[in-house]
Structure 1
Amino acid sequence: MTPNQNKAVWELCRQGLHSIAEAAEMAWTRGEPYRPQQHAHLPRETAHLITYCNFEITPQTAVA
């Protein structure tokens, strides 16, 4: 994950949104964009950070 993605996960946890943070982390780790269902309930800055993080997606490859 990128530093901004880590920051977004930390910020979501700080706001008490642990399930959203976990879902975002899982999506970004799989190389997929995260689109929260509760987008309207997120603070604007956090929603913008998630949008930005979706542009930084890099799929992780498993090491055999």
Structure 2
Amino acid sequence: MTARLRVDWPSCRARGLCHELLPELVDLDEWGYPVVGGEVTPDLLADARAAVRMCPRLALRLVAARPV
């Protein structure tokens, strides 16, 4: 499965926990909101799932990537 992270912007409150848990894919913008870059690789899938579960606002989700 190829996956990507999606942010539910109305729910996100810029706490930055996703960046702490998955700095390989999540950066923070100047206001602290997540900037997700790239697909979730198989070696990062477990960490991505943990970030989704631990988001305090449930604003992060894992979705199947669209084929190019």
TM-score (norm 2): 0.32
Structure with greater helix percent: 1
Structure with greater strand percent: 2
